[in-house]
Amino acid sequence: MTNLKTKIIKFLIAAAVVLLIVNVALNYKKKPPKREPVNERSVRQIENVFFKVLDDYGIEKDWISAKKVKPAEEDSIRVQYFVKLPTDVPVPLIIKDINKVIEKDITAFVSEEKKIFGTTEVRIYTNEILKLKATLIPDKESIRKRNELSFIISDAIDLSDANYKKFLSVYFPAAALVTPGLDVQTKIDTLKNYLKEYAVYLNDDIKDSELKLNPGFQKQILRGSIGNIISDFKEAKLYVVDERSKVFRSPIYGFVRDEFKRQGIILHPKSEFINLEAKEDSVLVSKFRSYCNDSTGTRQKVFILNFEEFQKIFGEIERLKKKGNKIVPLSRISLDHK
């Protein structure tokens, strides 16, 4: 009898242990996974994002003011910002760019409330806590004084068919540099179909005798060549001269220059324009940025570069456009004539 009781007790103890193990296992499975703490952005971080986006759009510091907020009104911020915006800066793009920066933070979001006369109030929250409040005010007096940029592509006419199509498809203004010749008329016709312009380039590579500017020609023959060039390329927006060419370095150049001028055309030495070239991509972009940020000289800057170099600065062109610089066609450029 004693042995039977002992066996029963052992069995019950074993069963209890098994039940305890099962219960612990079930509780472990039901326990919610441990959540990683969210890295919430601070007020300072949110402000840095906001001001960085404003700077990207060329908003001057003088256009931004701050007003203290009473604790009773907003318990999470101390100031509200007021920003004067030039009328050519779209508010939706500013808000879109702010969202791009903070979209990785699942606790943050931007709200906007448009008010009367185009004023927009922007609020940025993280974890439902207000971190920034700003009022964006359209202001006609606030003008982004930036540069007007124009581009002449030196090898556009000589590009392969594939690259020439790429050049034509560039959505912002760009011009081709065209050496006079009878074989370029077809490509010139396609330029205007894609809203592209061109500049005539007078150099030693002119092959056709009726267009050639040979310093050894008599004035009457030169006058005929000049007339043919003007007639065949009457839609040219600019005339550029290669300073290394024989005609430019000869005594007859004064006659050629004056003959063009007599027909209302000014010849511009190539050195008048910014020759943008560099062996390294980073140097090319840096040079371009430096020229565009320079406000000490003329606000209109004309660059001559090849198509490969042109493609390498596309990203910088977009950044400069956002900041307020304008990409304009050659026909919008006013060059000083001495």
User: What was the pLDDT predicted at 5?
Assistant: 58
In the predicted model, is pLDDT for residue 72 greater than 70?
no
Residues in the chain: 338
User: What was the pLDDT predicted at 36?
Assistant: 41
User: What was the pLDDT predicted at 21?
Assistant: 63
Among the ranges given (143-152, 196-205, 250-259, 287-296), the one the predictor scored with the smallest mean pLDDT: 287-296
In the predicted model, is pLDDT for residue 22 greater than 60?
no
Tell me the CB-side half-sphere exposure of residue 58, using CA atoms within 13 A: 21
SS3 label, residue 58: coil
> Residue 105 — very low, low, confident or very high, per pLDDT cuts 50/70/90?
confident
The structure's pTM equals 0.80
For the residues 323-337, what does the mean pLDDT come to?
A: 86
Q: How far apart are CA 302 and CA 305, in angstroms?
A: 10
Contact yes or no for 299/148 (Cβ under 8 A): yes
In the predicted model, is pLDDT for residue 14 greater than 50?
yes
Contact yes or no for 174/166 (Cβ under 8 A): no
For the residues 2-7, what does the mean pLDDT come to?
A: 58
In the predicted model, is pLDDT for residue 197 greater than 80?
yes
For the residues 238-264, what does the mean pLDDT come to?
A: 96
For the chain, list the domains and their CATH numbers.
Answer: 43-138 (3.30.460.10), 148-332 (3.20.20.370)
- DSSP state string for 200-212: EEESTT---TTT-
Of residues 61 and 337, more confidently modeled: 61
User: What was the pLDDT predicted at 338?
Assistant: 42
Contact yes or no for 212/190 (Cβ under 8 A): no
For the residues 46-50, what does the mean pLDDT come to?
A: 92
The pLDDT tens digits for 23-39 are 655 555 544 444 444 45
129 Cβ contact partners less than 8 Å away, ≥ 6 residues apart: 76
